[in-house]
Amino acid sequence: MSILSDLSWRFLRVWWRNLIVFRRIWKVNFLVPLFEPALYILAFGLGFRNLVGGVSYAGLDLTYTEFIAPALIATAVMWNSFFETTYASFVRMIYQKTFDAMMATPLSLEEIILAEVIWGATKAAAAAGIMLVVLGVLGFVAFPSGLLVIPLAFLGGVAFGAVGMFFTGIVPTIDMFNLPIFLFMTPLFLFSGTFFPISSLPPWAQKASLAFPLYHVVEPIRLLSLGMTEDVPLLSIGYLLIFSVVFLKLAMSSMRRRLIH
Amino acid sequence: MTAVVEATDLKKRYGEFTAVDGVSLRVDAGECYGLLGPNGAGKTSIIRMMYGFSPLSSGKMLLFGQDIEKDWRVIRSRIGVCQQDNTLDPDLSVEDNLAVFAGYYSIPAARARARAEELLGFFALEKKRKAKVMELSGGLAKRLMVARSLINEPELLILDEPTTGLDPQSRHLLWEKLRALQKAGVTLFLTTHYMEEASYLCNRLMIIDYGKILVEDSPQSLIKRHVGDSAIEIEGADEALRQYLEKNRINHEVMDQRIMVYAENSVAEHIRHHFCMQRCTFRPPTLEDVFLRLTGRELRE
C-alpha cells in the first residue's frame, strides 16, 4: 500500500494553511450559512405552506417546512465541501501552483489531497454548525441530539470533498466542472429525499435514491434534528465511510496521474 | 566524503520522448554547480528528479548518500527548492508565506518566527512583511521565493532559473546573496540561461543538450579549452581570411555578415595585422561563446 506509507499527520499543516487563509475572510464565509437557511425557511414556509400539506415521515406528521429544514443542512454540507475541493482546489493547484510549492517540502501529494478533502469537510461542518444554530432558534432542531449533526456533516463533507477532488483530478479545465455538477450533483440535490420523501417516488427511483450519497446524509441529519437518534441507520454511516475511502483513493490516484510526470 | 548530489545514468522518458538521456553528475559539499542548456535540454526534468517530484525512468539519484526514491521525505527536509515559476502563496502575506511554509517542515513556531525574521532581514524584505504577494514586483517575489526555500536551513539549495526576468539590480543583489550563502556553507545547484551568472557563481558546470551531457568543467577551463584566448568578430571578411582559417584549422563560425574566430593569442595577432580590412572586434571569450559553439545557434522553440 504505497498510499498509506505516503500519509502522515503532516497533512494537518496543509489544513492549517487553509484555515489561516479562511480566518481572514471568515465573516464573509459565514454570511451564507447564516442567512441561507433563513431565506429558504421563509420562502418555503410562506410560499409552499398553502400548496403542500403535511408530510408524513418516520411515523410523524410534519409540516413541509419542518420536513425540509434539516435537508437544507445536508445540501449545504454537499455544496460546501464539493465546491471547496473542485473550484477552490483547482485554483490552488493550477493557477496558484500551491501544490507544486508544497511538493518541494516533506509533504506527499497524498497528504495534500487528504488535507484538501478534510478542509472541505471542516468548512461543511462549520456551515452545518451555524445553520444548526439558526434552525435551532427557529425551532426546527431538537437538542441535544441535533448536536450530532456536526460530526455527521463532517463525514458527509469528507464524502463529497473526496468525490469533488476526484473530479478535480480528471477535468481538463475549470469550466468542465459544470458537467459533474449538472450530471451528478443536481440529481442528488433533487432526488435524495431532500424536498420530498423518496417514498413518493416509483419503486425503481426509490432504489436509485438509496444509492445516492446525499440520501445518506439527509436521512441521518433529519432523524437527528427530529430527536430520533436511535433510528439513525448505521447503514448510512457505513455507506458514507466506504464511499469516502473509495473516492479518497480514486482522488489520490487521479491527482497523481495528473500532476506527477 | 559523501557527495551532496550523486546522479548516475539518469534517464527520464515521457512516452516516446526522452528528456534526460543518461546524465551522471556529482556535486560536492560547498560547491556551486551550474546546469546549462537550451530550452528543452532537460534541465528542469533533472531538477524535478533531484527533489523527488518526478519519478526516475531509470538510473539512480542519491542526495547525501540517500536514495531520493525511497527517502524523499528525509532528503526534502534537508534541501531547499526555488522553482522556476512563482509558486508563492497569493492568499498569504509575505511573512505568512514564510511561517506557513515552515509548518510544512514541522519547524516549531518560535524557531520558524526567528528564522523568518532572519530571512526577511537577509533579503531586505522587512518593509514588505505585511504586503500581499500579488503586490510584489518580480524582483521582490523572487527574493521571497529564495527566502522561503531557505526556511528549513537547507544544506543544499536547488535553484531553477533564479534570475530569469529580473532587472540587473535585482539580479546582482541575488548573486551577492547566493555567494554569501555559499560562503556560509550551503551547497548550490542552479540552472540558468545567463552565462555571465554561471561564470560568476559556479565553481563547476555542465552543459547539456537533448538530454545528454556535452561538457562538464569549471567555467575558466571550459573557455580555455573550447574557445581559446580571444574571440574576434570580423566584418566583411575576404576569401584570403577564409582560406587562412581553413588551412590552419582555426576554430571559427561563418555567419551572415561576419566571421567569429576563436583563437590563441598568436593567431589573434596575425589576424589583427593581416585580415582586419574593415572592422574587427577583439574581446575576451566568454562562457556564452562556449555555449553557442557547443549547442549551435539555431532556435529551439
Q: Structurally, how many domains does chain A consist of? A: 1
Give tens-digit pLDDT for B248-284: 888 888 887 788 888 888 888 888 888 887 788 888 8
Range of the domain at A156: 2-259
Residues 6+ apart with CB under 8 A from A187: A212
pLDDT of A1 reads: 42
ipTM surpassing 0.90: no
Answer whether B83 sits within 8 Å of A10, measured CB to CB. Answer: no
- Chain A residues with CB-CB distance to B101 below 8 A: 101, 105
Contact A124, A77 (CB under 8 A): yes
pLDDT of A2 reads: 60
Mean pLDDT, residues B113-126: 95
Give tens-digit pLDDT for A16-64: 999 999 988 777 778 877 888 888 888 887 787 778 778 888 888 888 8
Answer whether A104 sits within 8 Å of B149, measured CB to CB. Answer: yes
Give tens-digit pLDDT for A172-194: 999 999 999 999 999 899 899 99
Which of A105, A107, A259 best probes binding to B when mutated, by most B CB atoms within 10 angstroms?
A: A105
- Nearest alpha carbon to residue A72 among A132, A3, A151: A132
Distance between CA atoms of residues A216 and A156, nearest Å: 8
Measure Cα distances from B102 to A83, A226, B76, B88, B181 in Å. 28, 46, 13, 13, 19
- Nearest alpha carbon to residue B188 among B12, B52, B5, B19: B5
Q: Where are the beta strands (DSSP E) in chain B?
A: 5-14, 17-27, 32-36, 58-63, 66-67, 79-82, 156-160, 187-191, 204-209, 212-217, 230-235, 252-254, 258-263, 279-283
Distance between CA atoms of residues A154 and A81, nearest Å: 9
Going from the N-terminus, what domains does chain B have, and what CATH number goes with each?
5-222 (3.40.50.300), 228-284 (3.30.70)
A 10 A CB-CB count for B189 gives 25
Q: Which amino acid is at B88?
A: L
Answer whether B83 sits within 8 Å of A100, measured CB to CB. Answer: yes
Distance between CA atoms of residues A32 and A28, nearest Å: 8
Answer whether A260 sits within 8 Å of B54, measured CB to CB. Answer: yes
Q: Where are the beta strands (DSSP E) in chain A?
A: 55-57, 60-62
Q: Which amino acid is at B52?
A: G
Distance between CA atoms of residues B278 and B237, nearest Å: 8
What residues 77-96 of chain A have any CB closer than 8 A to a CB of chain B?
96
Mean pLDDT of chain A: 91
pLDDT of B93 over the 90 cut: yes
Contact B160, B82 (CB under 8 A): yes
Contact B75, A104 (CB under 8 A): no
Residues 6+ apart with CB under 8 A from A77: A124, A125, A127, A128, A153, A156, A157, A160, A217, A221
Distance between CA atoms of residues A43 and B72, nearest Å: 56
Residue A27 in contact with partner chain B when CB distance is under 8 A: no
Query: Taking phi first (over 0 means left), then psi (-120 to 50 degrees means alpha), and beta for anything else, what does residue A8 get?
Result: beta
- Chain A residues with CB-CB distance to B130 below 8 A: none
pLDDT of B301 reads: 67
- Chain B residues with CB-CB distance to A26 below 8 A: none
Give tens-digit pLDDT for A136-162: 998 999 989 999 999 999 999 999 999
For strand B5-14 and strand B17-27, is the pairing parallel, antiparallel, or unpaired?
A: antiparallel
Residue A108 in contact with partner chain B when CB distance is under 8 A: yes
pLDDT of B176 reads: 95
pTM of the model: 0.91
- Chain B residues with CB-CB distance to A105 below 8 A: 76-77, 101, 104-105, 152
- Nearest alpha carbon to residue B234 among B255, B265, B249: B255
